[in-house]
A and B are shown apart, each in its own frame.
Chain A
Amino acid sequence: MKLAKVPNLIVLGTILSLAAIGCRKGLDKTTQIPKGSSPTIGDTGTGQPRDITSSPPVNTTSTDSTPLTGVNVPSNSNIAANTTDRSTWLENRDEFKAQTVYFDFDKSNIKPSEVGKLEEVAKRMKSSFQGKALRVEGHCDERGTEEYNRSLGDKRAQSGREKLAQLGLDPGLVDTISFGEEKPADPGHNDAAWKKNRRIELILLSPPPAGAAN
């Protein structure tokens, strides 16, 4: 018996074999769906994933970036990150709130009009805050994708750190972090909001009190 003309037919020879097995008596084949055939989300009984070790992060030796020597950092090279873990230091977000630095869309360079703010920060850090440190937090507006913005926010923070170094603040006292677009200053979806979100915030850090748990 000829098969009906099916110019666009997509069939394999094995189909007939399957037909031979499966169709002589209707349903010869049953397939048992195993219980939990996909990986179960395991837990330790409390519903929590096993805890990530909270031991200090691995320190690394950077061999390919400018060493931390404070001032006179060349303006055209990356400054390796500090290895000191200040994640538990106390944050003061108010001290340098007025010195939040803003950026143009999709840019990470410190505009000349913004440099004065960083001069102020460098000056006050050196004169008033011995023993303290600074965290530069990079942020973006929502017009970039999440990972793109995580990287751009990072670059903005590092840009701020480099400028502070050029202004005389020891980069060994300055950490950076990026939140990408995840912590906007203004949740609006317009130019006015976006302008406020493209920023770095300068956060004064104080060492935790002696004896505080890590």
Chain B
Amino acid sequence: MNCFVVRRLIICMTLILLGLPIAGFAAESERLTIIKPKDSLGFVKPVPVNVSGFTGEPDNVLKNDLLFMGVQHVPLDQALFLITGNNNGRVEGHVIDKGSKSPLFGKAYTGGPIRAQIHAFADDVAFLLTQVKGIAQTKMAFKAESGLGRSEVYVADYDGFNAQGVTQDQSMVAGPCWIQRAGLIYATYKFGVPQIFSHQLNSGARAPVARHPAGNYSPAVSPDGSRVAMILSKGGSPDLYVANIDGSGLKQLTTTREAEFSPCWSPDGKLICYGSREPGAAVLFTISPGGGSPRRLATTGAPSPTEPDWSPDGRWIAFTSQSRTFQICIVLANGGVGGEAIPLVEGEDPSWAPNSRALLFCRGPDHAKQLSLLDVPTKQVKHVARILGSNSQPSWAK
């Protein structure tokens, strides 16, 4: 951008703030207000748009991407914005305000596959219309069964495309979890009892994190990538421990006779949410990684909660309620009023998207599980194509 354009930008923004009409620009708008209507759970309602001009699979990809970012394709008469463009050779996309016909955005995308260009456009549209960073170009990891008692870790685009194997140990893996966006941590049965390793994706380098006797599993990496919470059995009962990401500085957080399970971190790294039991039934607790007394997290109406995942905006804890079927539920992380759990869809093992709006989960019988995407506010679900035998334990890179 040269100085002239920068000056024009500043003038433009100043005029906007003053509420004066702007001459010489296509937009020609007066002061605009930001209104973000929210639903009863406090999620921003989807922005209604009409998408046209795109064809084939790229059209589907674009609409799906937008759906999970709070932008909903609707018939023309219901739309507030028009998303137009084409994918002939390269993706070109525009956003137009329907009422005023003002063009708000226009870009062409080059390089890489068309699908990547569509994802980039979708992210640009979503950011424009919601001011929340897009998720169309994010990744997820999951476990895929390759045979009886055999599974490997895979990484794919958030929508399941481009799946690539990460492990080839011909053993069993469990509970893959991202170390920020560059690495994974998971448990492997390669050496007998489950042991936890970290795995740098670019180099393939692996390092031990926890190889204690009896069992090391359910690793959860702190959002800043510096620590790991996990379940270790070396003390004679599955207990919650925390350590540095290299496994040093091990600290035992629970010393109960109950079996603890499935920890996750708050986005600020100050709390760990995990499962344990009050005599008889599974419940969720939160505890400081520095130790101390755990606090019960009520999930009223949702029995036997497990595998919690904390939304990156800190607001919600998603979890699986184990009853006759598995149910994905959310509960306010601060307990709300009475800790009422909100059931969403049938399924298990939720993992939040970075935008705290969508999540990945899986559903289906053992050995035939399939990953799915959920838009929490609208409860819309899209299935993710399955690879190999059974896909489960999704982890969305945040």
**Interface, chain A (partner B; CB < 8 A):** 1-24, 26-35, 37-44, 47-54, 57-60, 62, 64-66, 76-83, 85-87, 106, 108, 142-148, 150-152, 154-155, 158, 162, 175-184, 187, 189
**A interface secondary structure, majority:** loop
With known contacts A2-B30, A154-B214, A18–B261 Cβ distance under 8 A: no
Chain A residues with CB below 8 A from B236, complex form: 65-66, 77-81, 158, 162
State which of B13, B17, B34, B109 has its C-beta within 8 Å of the C-beta of A11. Answer: B34
Chain B's closest residue to A107 (CB) is B280
Q: Which of B91-134 contact A (CB under 8 A)?
A: 92, 97, 99-100, 102-112, 116-117, 120, 124, 128-131
Q: Which of B206-262 contact A (CB under 8 A)?
A: 206, 208, 211-215, 217-218, 231, 233-238, 250, 252, 255, 257-262
A65 to B188, CA, bound (A): 26
CB distance from A16 to the nearest CB of B (A): 5
State which of B191, B204, B233 has its C-beta within 8 Å of the C-beta of A81. Answer: B233
B139 lies within 8 A of chain A by Cβ = yes
23 CB-based A-B contacts, threshold 8 Å: A10-B35, A13-B32, A33-B120, A34-B111, A41-B204, A48-B168, A49-B204, A51-B206, A52-B208, A60-B234, A62-B235, A64-B252, A78-B235, A78-B236, A80-B234, A81-B236, A106-B304, A145-B326, A151-B217, A152-B259, A154-B214, A155-B237, A180-B174
Q: Are A9 and B32 in contact, with the CB atoms below 8 A?
A: yes
State which of A8, A29, A158 has its C-beta within 8 Å of the C-beta of B108. Answer: A29
A151 to B230, CA, bound (A): 11
CB distance from B396 to the nearest CB of A (A): 14
Please give 7 more A-B residue pairs, beta carbons under 8 A apart, in addition to A16-B104, A22-B105, A44-B204: A4-B97, A10-B44, A10-B129, A52-B208, A82-B213, A147-B306, A181-B366
Chain A residues with CB below 8 A from B137, complex form: 37-38
Q: Which of B181-220 contact A (CB under 8 A)?
A: 181-182, 188, 190-195, 197, 199-206, 208, 211-215, 217-218
Chain A's closest residue to B168 (CB) is A48
CB distance from A41 to the nearest CB of B (A): 5
Q: Are B307 and A145 in contact, with the CB atoms below 8 A?
A: yes
B333 lies within 8 A of chain A by Cβ = no
A81 to B210, CA, bound (A): 14
Q: Which of B1-52 contact A (CB under 8 A)?
A: 1, 5, 8-9, 12-13, 16-17, 21-22, 25-30, 32-37, 44-45, 47
State which of A20, A35, A62 has its C-beta within 8 Å of the C-beta of B112. Answer: A35
Q: Are B108 and A145 in contact, with the CB atoms below 8 A?
A: no
Q: Are A12 and B201 in contact, with the CB atoms below 8 A?
A: no
A91 to B60, CA, bound (A): 52
Q: Are B215 and A23 in contact, with the CB atoms below 8 A?
A: no
Closest 6 CB pairs of A and B: A78-B236, A87-B192, A4-B99, A33-B112, A81-B214, A57-B211
